[in-house]
């Protein structure tokens, strides 16, 4: 009798927990939030987010490779082995989702094959002949990282996984990702399935420009429809909803790749992609991501280097009005400008400690033989701070100085020797 009551009690507890996690998927979020707050407190205590040079390892990162990419300027703000080829695990699904979004209708209903249903690893939970829309498969792909959803999507779009991978690789080529190659839509370990932290950041930046993709990876929980029945999914991204400014994008794990996380974070007008690859544990993955994000927002801000450079050149011109000598030229008034690439520096991300010590230097040739052509390189402009070079551009002639002809020489003689001319003709 007692044995039966014990069984009944265990069944009741199991049923309670099942209902709790099924209908209240946010139950475990407080634990994630607490862990992240503890990491933030530890960082503040140890001051590990203080400014360090990009070559230093003062951040003490566990991840094998990482990068912080500024989305507005495409600058690398911090990096470690960012161009090493590594396995990417389920961060692969960023490209999978992109290919699907660019090649299919989201409302199309598809049927899961036996191959898709039998795919191992992290799963949405598809069974053979299950019916589901492309849209809901994408949620299953990007929120709970379903490998079965990845194969189902690949077969629905291209007819087979190999053909789908051909589309993925072509897209990588189109985006200039020369050190990225796909052999699957899910990212399970494979020798020829690799990327780099740098190229994965570029891919993530591109993907987040797609509104549908951005919306899905920014969703914490979503209820989808599988065979006409609701199923609630929870995003595996532990930082989403728990760290200020996080709005996506994808986690990953395999034995070969270890723990991976790509995140997008925006605070104020600064918008970054952070990639960590090859962390030993989920906690290290979380710690490294938070360290990099907090380091970036603590130490960087935007600065208009174009305005600074243009003002410096204007002041220099005013202080050096007769700087040039142009042998046999019809003028010595040579105007100049900075290379058009200067506009790329209208907004740059710069370390806050460098902003108050910005200096410039201009080096120009003083002597020319005519002619001098427009857009001819005549020198260089450098802007730096504390010996850190921020900009180095060519200075170009902004006017054409022609070689003197006979008329020019006559006019010069008439202007220079008016008394002698008067005596000759008197």
Domain boundary at 278, 299, 320, which?
A: 299
CATH number at residue 310: 2.60.410.10
Do 189 and 108 belong together in one domain? yes
Q: Looking at residue 74, what is its pLDDT?
A: 96
Look at residue 387 in the predicted model and tell me its pLDDT: 86
Are residues 253 and 397 located together in one domain of the fold? no
Q: Are 95 and 174 in contact (CB under 8 A)?
A: no
Could you tell me the CA-to-CA distances from 350 to 48, 244, 252, 265, 303 in Å, in that order? 19, 21, 31, 17, 7
Q: Does a structural domain hold residue 246? A: yes
Beta strands in 95-201 (DSSP E): 109-111, 131-133
Indicate the burial class of 201 (C-beta count within 10 angstroms; 0-12, 13-18, 19 or more): buried
Are 253 and 240 within one domain?
A: yes
Predicted TM-score of the model (pTM) = 0.84
Q: Answer whether residue 2 is part of any domain.
A: no
Residue of 65, 79, 90, 122 marked catalytic? 90
Contact at 8 Å (CB) between 366 and 378? no
Residues 256 and 343 in one domain: no
Q: How far apart are CA 322 and CA 211, in angstroms?
A: 56
Residues 117 and 263 in one domain: yes
> At which of 233, 264, 299 does a domain end?
299
Is the pLDDT at 417 greater than 70, yes or no?
no
On the question of pLDDT at 112 being above 70, the answer is yes
252 located within any domain: yes
Number of domains the chain contains: 2
Q: Specify if 3 maps to a domain.
A: no
Same domain for 117 and 176, yes or no, is yes
Question: Do residue 255 and residue 150 come from a single domain?
Answer: yes
Among 93, 171, 291, 404, the active-site one is 93
**What CATH number is associated with residue 160?**
3.40.710.10
pLDDT at 2: 45
Residues 114 and 163 in one domain: yes
pLDDT given at position 24:
44
Does 27 have pLDDT greater than 90?
A: no
What proportion of the chain, given as a percentage, has pLDDT over 70? 85
Determine the average pLDDT of the residues in 218-238.
97
Q: Which residues pair with 21 in a beta bridge?
A: none
**Residue range(s) defining the domain that contains residue 225:** 35-299
Give the Å distances, CA to CA, from 139 to 214, 217, 347: 12, 8, 35
Whether residue 17 is contained in a domain is answered as no
Last residue in a domain, options 269, 299, 329: 299
- Residue 250 placed within a domain: yes
d(CA 410, CA 420): 13
- Answer whether residue 178 shows pLDDT above 80: yes
Task: Tell whether the model's pLDDT for residue 55 goes beyond 50.
Answer: no
Listed residue (11, 39, 30) closest to 294, CA to CA:
39
> What per-residue confidence (pLDDT) applies to 25?
46
- The pLDDT of residue 39 is above 90: no
Residue 90 falls in the annotated catalytic set: yes
Task: Identify whether residues 348 and 257 lie together within a single domain.
Answer: no
198 in the same domain as 342: no
Average pLDDT over the chain, rounded to whole? 89
User: Looking at the domain assignment, is residue 318 inside a domain?
Assistant: yes
Which is the catalytic residue, given 145, 156, 289, 397? 145
**pLDDT value at 76 more than 60:** yes
Q: Do 71 and 51 share a domain, yes or no?
A: yes
Do 294 and 194 share a domain, yes or no?
yes
313 belongs to a structural domain = yes
């Amino acid at each position: 009798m007692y044995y039966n009551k014990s069984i009944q009690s265990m069944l009741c507890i199991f049923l309670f927990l099942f209902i709790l996690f099924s209908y209240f998927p946010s139950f475990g979020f407080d634990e994630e939030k607490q862990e992240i707050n503890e990491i933030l407190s530890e960082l503040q205590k140890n001051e590990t987010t203080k400014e360090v040079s990009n070559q230093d390892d003062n951040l003490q990162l566990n991840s094998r490779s990482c990068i912080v990419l500024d989305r507005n300027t495409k600058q690398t703000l911090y990096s470690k082995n960012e161009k090493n080829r590594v396995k990417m695990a389920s961060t692969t699904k960023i490209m999978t989702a992109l290919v699907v979004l660019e090649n299919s209708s989201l409302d199309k209903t598809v049927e899961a094959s036996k191959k898709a249903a039998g795919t191992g690893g992290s799963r949405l939970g598809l069974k053979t002949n299950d019916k589901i829309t492309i849209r809901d498969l994408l949620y299953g792909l990007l929120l709970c990282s379903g490998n079965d959803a990845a194969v189902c999507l690949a077969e629905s779009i291209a007819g087979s996984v190999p053909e789908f991978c051909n589309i993925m690789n072509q897209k990588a080529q189109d985006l200039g990702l020369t050190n990225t190659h796909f052999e699957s839509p899910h990212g399970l370990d494979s020798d020829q399935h690799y990327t780099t932290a740098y190229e994965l950041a570029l891919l993530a930046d591109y993907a987040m420009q797609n509104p549908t993709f951005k919306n899905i990876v920014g969703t914490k929980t979503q209820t989808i429809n599988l065979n006409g029945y609701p199923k609630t999914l929870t995003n595996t991204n532990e930082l989403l909803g728990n760290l200020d400014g996080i709005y996506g994008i994808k986690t990953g794990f395999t034995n070969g790749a270890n723990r991976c996380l790509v995140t997008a974070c925006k605070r104020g007008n600064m918008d970054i992609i952070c990639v960590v690859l090859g962390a030993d544990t989920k906690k290290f993955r979380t710690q490294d991501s938070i360290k990099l994000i907090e380091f970036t927002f603590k130490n960087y801000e935007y600065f208009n280097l174009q305005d600074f450079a243009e003002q410096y050149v204007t002041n220099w011109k005013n202080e050096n009005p007769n700087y040039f000598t142009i042998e046999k030229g019809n003028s010595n008034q040579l105007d100049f400008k900075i290379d058009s690439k200067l506009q790329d520096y209208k907004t740059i991300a710069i370390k806050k400690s460098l902003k108050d010590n910005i200096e410039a230097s201009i080096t120009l040739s003083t002597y020319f033989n005519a002619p001098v052509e427009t857009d001819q390189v005549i020198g260089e402009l450098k802007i730096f701070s504390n010996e850190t070079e921020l900009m180095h551009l060519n200075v170009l002639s902004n006017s054409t100085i022609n070689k003197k002809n006979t008329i020019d020489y006559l006019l010069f003689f008439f202007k220079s020797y008016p008394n002698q001319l008067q005596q000759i003709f008197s």
